[in-house]
Amino acid sequence: MLFSGLFAASLAALTQLAAAANYSNPLRETNGSDPQIVWYDGYYYLMTTTWTDVQLTRATTIEGLKTGEGKTVWVDEDPSRCCSVWAPELHELDGTWYIYYSAGTAENLDGQRPQVLEGGAHPWDDDYAWVATLTSTWGIDGSVATINDQRYFTWSCFDGTDIQSLCIASMTSPTSLGSTVLISEPTEDWETVGAPVNEGPYLLQSPSSGTYYIVFSASYCWTTSYQLGLLTLADGADPLVRDSWTKSGPVFSSANGNLGTAHNAFFTSPDGTEIWNVYHATANANGACDGNRYTSVDRVSWKEDGSPDFGVASPLGEVLVGPAGEPAA
């Protein structure tokens, strides 16, 4: 009888945990562009492009982000960086939280530059202040990438080229960069639909092989061919050498009514056993590059050789099992 009672109690607990872990896409229906999610200290933190400011949303479950607690952490009145606030990302560096994002002037998009906000020891509790513009030339979609314990900054650029490409530089501090290196230009057919574009780079590391990848967005965002490509870093190679990277793709494209599935990021499940892909898409038949993009997440799988398998974007509204280790509701 005691065993039977314990089994029933355990089964009930497992059932409750499974139910708490369920979610469905989308997580954010409007202004869900350029998403990033970070799990830290019992909360998911979600950032997306809101165009005019920098906002954080947090919740203890992925499903909870739909109605999560939100706040605006930065509005800038400086005319050189007031407007077109895009693609914010939250990164913890040496015990301090920073937000990297793109912004420029109200007149046009020629002034877009990578910007940095510095916070404190906690991503939610502490205030943020603007501390740096990272480049003197056009740049968007900046992200921090730690490779073999060395810190780099990757972003979309025009340095050394007349087409929108990908650049990398070593980070001499959280607010300053070394020399810029061009590592990818959009030359393949799948990178040039509507316009030749490489943007939205984000680091991914294989948990089994240790191989480093940069996943990026390709083609014009106002098309349904906006999709993800992959740069693979040769084992032991220098990330600051262009030939160290091998391009492949597309690796994640429109599917199941989700169009323009790109500008993504990755986050780890609460128990650390899974890597998840957070991305935006649209239902607009012609594609979208405005607030009519929503945020979705799907789990990343891994092939036998250790390389990532992103699968396909799950249908909207389908009930899915969420990240492992989420707290019970």
| 10-residue mean pLDDT series, the chain (329 residues) | 40 42 95 99 98 98 98 98 99 99 98 99 98 98 98 97 98 98 99 99 98 99 99 98 99 99 98 98 97 98 98 98 85
The torsion angles phi and psi of 295, rounded to 5 degrees, stand at -100, 130
pLDDT of residue 328: 63
Q: Which of 220, 155, 154 is closest to 191 using CA atoms?
A: 220
Q: Which of 243, 170, 237, 166 is closest to 197 using CA atoms?
A: 166
pLDDT of residue 21: 76
CA distance 268 to 203: 13
10: helix, coil or strand? helix
The catalytic site residues sit at 34, 199
Superfamily for domain range 31-317: Glycosyl hydrolase domain; family 43 (2.115.10.20)
pLDDT of residue 327: 80
**Domain chopping of the chain, boundaries:** 31-317
Q: Which of 323, 307, 201 is closest to 262 using CA atoms?
A: 201
Q: What is the pTM of this model?
A: 0.93
Spatial contact of 204 and 266, defined as CB atoms under 8 Å apart: yes
CA distance 231 to 228: 10
pLDDT of residue 6: 37
Q: Which of 69, 88, 96 is closest to 31 using CA atoms?
A: 88
Spatial contact of 58 and 43, defined as CB atoms under 8 Å apart: yes
Q: What residues form DSSP beta bridges with 291? A: none
Q: Nearest 5 degrees, angle CA 323-CA 325-CA 326?
A: 70
pLDDT of residue 42: 96
How far apart, in Å, are the Cα atoms of 19 and each of 4, 14, 63, 319, 320?
A: 22, 9, 11, 10, 10
